[in-house]
Amino acid sequence: MNVKIFCPQCGKTGVKLFSGLCRSCFIEKTCLINIPEEIDIIICTHCGSIQKKGRWMDSGLSLEDIVIETIYEYVEIDDSASDVAISVKILTIRGSIFECLVNVKAHVMDEILIQEFLVEVKVNKSVCTVCSKFSSGYYEAVIQMRADSRLISDDEIGTADKIVRDKIERLSNKNRMAYISQRVEMKEGIDYYVGSYKAARKLTETLRNVFGGVLKDSPRLMGRDKTKGKDLYRIWFSLRLPQFQKYDFVKYNNVKTQVLNFDANKIYLKALDSSATISVAWRDYEKLKLIARKDDIKLAMVTAKTPQLIQILHPDTYQPVDIELNDELRHLHIGDELKVVEIDNILYVI
């Protein structure tokens, strides 16, 4: 039996068929891309983030670019097309409706095809979950900065503000809940209300690296999330800065020392009589007692020197005081000035 092959579209016979059509009918019938005629976008009026598949995402793009990018995301290229070049142009904007033209150029069976598609993009305005939480003052944690037995200084508040600003900016790139919903400054210190618990914890660590201090965190039950059946907690990070500052003098285990430095973990001390260095963990903070401030350091003049001693004038009474020579003092000459501090009627050379 002789079967006659023909194209049902144009009736040509004796031709090779592609998906049931002759070559030219197949090419003619090919639609290069699949794209909806209407697309809806939901955009946050506050931060410009867009909702995609139920999730809010940062865009950082202009509205026009968001429209164009969304169209590209919806394009599905036909399997028969290769070397596809697509360009999207906004033709008109009427209110929230963007009428766009999609131009497609591609190869189908070694022929170049150019096709155009009209797409209408509707931009719906809304408020994203983060912005609605932010505007309602939502927060998950509070960082409370206070100082032990003193008021926090303006310098400390200025430094803390800068740390919080810089760190929040960096954290917010990855965590949209990393925002400060409230900053409350009061006589005894400062409170930062933070959108995200995780961000608050990182912020507290950064503050502690600079200020040291004793950290306590305590959850407070704020209510219950009925939809999730979970208790809602907020965390208070309470950071208490030390009474002393760098270069002040503290007594530790009856050793008089000067505070050289501190970080998030430890306080670094130098003993006044032996020059030995000692490090103390913050959990032992209560064992430190402030005995003099760095402002109590004074200058005293060397008035005599023997192989065993130097003599200096007391900075207040101008009475001569003998001090045993050690390696640190050996290079001194009569007339030189020394830094000293008086604690319990004893002069220590710093």
**Nearest CB to Zn ion, comparing residues 135 and 326:** 135
Beta carbons within 8 Å of 201's beta carbon, 6+ residues apart: 141, 237
Interatomic CA distance for residues 250 and 270, integer angstroms? 10
Coil vs helix vs strand at 59: coil
Tell whether residue 17 is a contact of Zn ion (CB under 5 A): no
287-346: which residues touch Zn ion (CB under 5 A)?
A: none
101-130: which residues touch Zn ion (CB under 5 A)?
A: 128
Per the CB < 8 A criterion, the answer to whether 27 and 108 are in contact is yes
> Can you tell me which residue has the tokens 């927060």?
139
Interatomic CA distance for residues 299 and 206, integer angstroms? 36
Among 10, 151, 184, 346, binds Zn ion (CB under 5 A): 10
- Min dist CB 19 to Zn ion, Å, is 11
Cα distance between the two ends of the chain: 115
**Nearest CB to Zn ion, comparing residues 6 and 236:** 6
**Nearest CB to Zn ion, comparing residues 21 and 67:** 21
- Min dist CB 12 to Zn ion, Å, is 5
Coil vs helix vs strand at 155: helix
**Nearest CB to Zn ion, comparing residues 42 and 301:** 42
**Nearest CB to Zn ion, comparing residues 46 and 107:** 46
Task: Give the binding range for Zn ion (CB under 5 A) out of 25-33, 74-82, 274-282, 292-300.
Answer: 25-33
Interatomic CA distance for residues 78 and 234, integer angstroms? 52
To the nearest 10 degrees (0 to 180), the angle between helices 197-211 and 154-171 is: 140
- Min dist CB 290 to Zn ion, Å, is 48
Binding residues for Zn ion, total number by CB under 5 A:
11
**Nearest CB to Zn ion, comparing residues 138 and 268:** 138
Interatomic CA distance for residues 308 and 10, integer angstroms? 119
Per the CB < 8 A criterion, the answer to whether 258 and 270 are in contact is yes
Per the CB < 8 A criterion, the answer to whether 142 and 204 are in contact is no
Task: Give the binding range for Zn ion (CB under 5 A) out of 2-10, 78-86, 97-105, 174-182.
Answer: 2-10
- Min dist CB 43 to Zn ion, Å, is 9
Interatomic CA distance for residues 350 and 100, integer angstroms? 77
Per the CB < 8 A criterion, the answer to whether 347 and 311 are in contact is no
Q: Which long-range contacts (CB under 8 A, 24 or more apart) does 277-281 make?
A: 278/252, 280/252
Composition of the chain by helix, strand, coil, percent to 5 = 20, 45, 35
Spell out, one character per residue from 40 to 69, where the chain touches Zn ion: x when CB under 5 A holds, - when not: ----x-xx-x--------------------
**Nearest CB to Zn ion, comparing residues 11 and 95:** 11
- Min dist CB 172 to Zn ion, Å, is 12
Spell out, one character per residue from 129 to 168, where the chain touches Zn ion: x when CB under 5 A holds, - when not: --x-------------------------------------
Task: Give the binding range for Zn ion (CB under 5 A) out of 17-25, 32-40, 209-217, 282-290.
Answer: 17-25
- Min dist CB 56 to Zn ion, Å, is 7
| Residue 63, token pair as written in the block | 């509205």
- Min dist CB 26 to Zn ion, Å, is 8
Q: Which stretches of the chain bind Zn ion, using CB under 5 A?
A: 7, 9-10, 22, 25, 44, 46-47, 49, 128, 131
